[in-house]
Amino acid sequence: MQELSTSSKLKYIFSIPVIISALGYFVDIYDLLLFGIVRIPSLKALGLNPDVDGTFILNCQMVGLLIGGVFWGIFGDKKGRLSVLFGSILVYSLANIACGFLPYFPKENLVYSYAGLRFIAGVGLAGELGAGITLVSESLPKNLRAIGTSVVAGFGLMGAVVAQLTVELSGGWNISYIIGGVLGIMLLFLRISVSESGIYKNIEHKTVPKGNFLSFFTHKDRLIRYLKCIAVGLPTWYCIGILAVLANQFAPELKIKDLNPGKAIMWAYIGISVGDLSSGFISQALKSRKMAIFYMLLFTIIGVAIMLFGNTNTETKYYIFCVWLGLGTGYWAMFVTLAAEQFGTNIRNTATTTVPNMVRGLVPVMILAFDLLKNNFTVVVSAAIVGAVVFGLAFYSALTISETHNKDLEFTE
C-alpha cells in the first residue's frame, strides 16, 4: 500500500465523518453523564432519595442503553450507519429536553417519570458511538483507523467536562438537560453533509444476511470473540459507574469531608479524553490493539489499588486519582474499534453498537454486586472485590483476543 503524505493523512483524520462523529459523541457523552452529575441536586429538588431512587433511575438508563444497543445495532446494519446517527440523536435529545421540565410534572410517581425519561434517553444514547465508530472505521484507510477513532472519542468525551461546567454555570440542573437536548437537535442539521460508508454500500443490496444479532450466539468462535470484546471494556464503566458516580459513598470511610460525584466524573473524563487521544498513537507505535489495551489496563489497576488502599484522605487526592483512572481507561475508543474490526460488514454495526452498551448495561450488575457486598464488607473492600473480578476478565480477554491491527474490513460473516 502506498504511503500517504502528511497532508493526506490530516485530510482523512479531520474528514467530515470524523468531525461529525466527534461532535455527535460529544453531545452523546454530555447527555449520558448528565444524570450522574445532577443526580444529587435534581433528586433533592424533586423530593426524591439521591441514593435509593438515584440507583433505580441510573439502572433504568443503563437498561435502556442495553436494549437500545441491540435495536440500533441491527438497524444500522440493515438500513445503514447514517440512519442510526439521525434516529438515535433525535430520541435522546427529545428525552433530555423533557427531563428539563420534570419540576413541572405531577408529583405522584415522579420517580417513575424520571426513570422512564432516562430509559428513553438511554435507548437513544445507545446508537451514537457504535454507528460513529463503524462509519469512521469503514471510511478511513486501515493505517489511520485507530487515530481517527481516537480523535472521535478524545474530543467526544470532553462532553462530560462541559456537562459539569454547564451545570455550575447555568444555575439549574434542569436547564442543563434542556441545553443538552438543544445541542443534539442542532447537530442533526450538520449531519446532512455526511455520506454513507463505502464499505457498507458495497453490500447494501447483496443478499447476505445483515444485522442478525442472534448470529453472535449461534457460532462458538463468534460468541467467544463477542464476549471477549465486552469483557475488555468492563473496567471503563467500573471506574465511572462505581468509583466516580458513587464517589460520595467512599467519603466517610476514606475520612474525606465530602466528595462531589459530578466533579469526580468531570476529572475522570478529562483523563479519559487525554487517554483516548493517546490510545490510537500507542496502538500505532506498538502495532497492536490488544497490547495497547493491556498496558492501559495495567496502568489503571495500579491507580485503583492506590486510590482505595493508599491513604486517599482528601478530596483533591481523590480527584487526582479520578484523572489517573481516566487516563488508563482512555482505551474506550480502542476497545470499540477492536470490536468493529473483529466482525464482518454485515454485522459490524450490530457488534460495535451492542458491545459498548452491553458494558454499560452491566453497570447495574456491578452496582448490585457492590451493594450486596457492602452488607458484609466495607465500601472500599466491596469496590475492590468487584474490581478484581472485572479486571481479571479484562486482562484475560485482552491477551487472548485476536489482533486486528491493519486488518482489512471488507469481509462479511
Alpha-carbon distances, residue 139 vs 132, 153, 199, 302, 406 (angstroms): 11, 16, 8, 36, 14
User: Residue 1: its pLDDT value, please?
Assistant: 46
User: Residue 313: its pLDDT value, please?
Assistant: 93
pLDDT in tens, the chain (413 residues): 456 788 888 888 888 889 988 998 899 889 988 998 898 899 999 999 988 899 899 889 988 998 999 999 999 999 888 889 889 999 999 999 999 999 999 988 999 999 999 999 999 999 988 888 888 888 888 888 888 988 988 888 888 889 989 998 988 899 999 999 999 999 888 887 777 777 888 887 777 888 899 999 999 999 999 999 999 999 999 999 999 989 999 999 999 999 999 899 989 989 998 998 899 889 989 999 999 999 999 999 999 999 999 999 999 999 999 999 999 999 988 899 899 999 999 999 999 999 998 998 898 899 999 999 999 999 999 999 999 999 999 999 999 999 998 888 888 88
Distant-in-sequence, close-in-space partners of 274: CB < 8 Å, separation ≥ 6: 154, 326, 327, 330
> Are 331 and 276 spatial neighbours (Cβ–Cβ below 8 Å)?
yes
Coil vs helix vs strand at 344: coil
User: Residue 101: its pLDDT value, please?
Assistant: 96
**Cα torsion 81, 86, 90, 92: sign:** positive
Round to whole Å and give the CA distance between 164 and 73.
29
CATH code of 12-190+217-400, in short, is: 1.20.1250.20
> Are 58 and 342 spatial neighbours (Cβ–Cβ below 8 Å)?
no
The pTM (predicted TM-score) of the whole model is 0.83
The domain spans of the chain are: 12-190+217-400
Grid cell 487516563 in the structure block, residue = 327
**Cα torsion 292, 296, 298, 299: sign:** positive
- 295-324: buried (b, 16+ CB within 10 Å) or exposed (e) per residue? bbbebbbebbeebbeeebeebebbbebbbb
Q: 406 φ, ψ to 5°?
A: 65, 25
User: Residue 195: its pLDDT value, please?
Assistant: 75
276-290 residue pLDDT tens: 889 988 998 999 999
Round to whole Å and give the CA distance between 298 and 155.
24
